[in-house]
Structure 1
Amino acid sequence: MTTLHHEHPAHDHIHGPACGHAEVPHGDHVDYAHDGHMHRAHTDHYDECEPAGHVAHQGHDHRHAEGCGHRSVVHGDHVDYLHDGHRHASHDGHWDDH
């Protein structure tokens, strides 16, 4: 999945293992959940890490919800669930794979 390159302007906070924001493993890097956004370090700034397009997670029968055993992170107007290195978001009766 391709990620759009949108620089997060004026982001003075340095993300890292002890910064207080949820770490979200994502392919070859780590995103950080911060104020409803996903941030990714990119050279000398942070990018808004958003998926490009719509990708349904095929064959995902597990129903995410509070207490399901997977960590949740607020992402914009919805909640993503961290599951096996992916962020899953509910969408029209299925789970999107971010």
Structure 2
Amino acid sequence: MTTGHMEHTAHEHPHGPSCGHTAVQHGDHTDYAHDGHLHREHSGHWDECEPAGHTAHEGHDHRHGATCGHRAVEHGDHLDYVHDGHRHAAHQGHWDCH
């Protein structure tokens, strides 16, 4: 989910299975964690893949952290945790879906 179409300009690095960046399956596409933000391929260029609005993950009683077993991905000023095909981020006592 993105907030509009936010192209990452001047992005010359081609992401893929061997690029060295963490790949995160996100719905029908793959995001790549790069320098604290996430990129997705779109029509021959790379977009910033940012959540639109605030979407709480209801009924999520699992606590993510260093030993939870889910992959942590740096995302801006926080960590997202890859869980069941989407990313969770801690937010005001609950987990958001990214």
Q: TM-score, normalised by structure 2?
A: 0.96
Number of residue pairs the alignment of both structures matches: 97
- Structure 1 Cα separation of the partners of residues 39 and 2 of structure 2: 12
Q: How far off its partner does 1:44 sit? A: 1.6
Paired residue for 2:2?
3
Paired residue for 2:42?
42
Q: Which runs of structure 1 show a deviation greater than 6 angstroms over 4 or more consecutive aligned residues? A: none
Equivalent positions of 1:9-48 (< 5 A) are: 9-48=9-48
Task: Give % identity.
Answer: 71
Deviation string 1:24-54 (CA, Å, 9 cap, x unpaired) is 1000000000000100001121000001100
Equivalent positions of 1:77-92 (< 5 A) are: 77-92=77-92
Runs (5+) with no aligned partner, structure 1: none
Deviation string 1:53-89 (CA, Å, 9 cap, x unpaired) is 0000000000000011000010000000000101000
Aligned CA-pair RMSD: 0.7
Runs (5+) with no aligned partner, structure 2: none
Q: One-letter code of the match for 1:41? A: E
Question: Is 1:68 paired with 2:68?
Answer: yes
SS in 2 for 1:6: coil
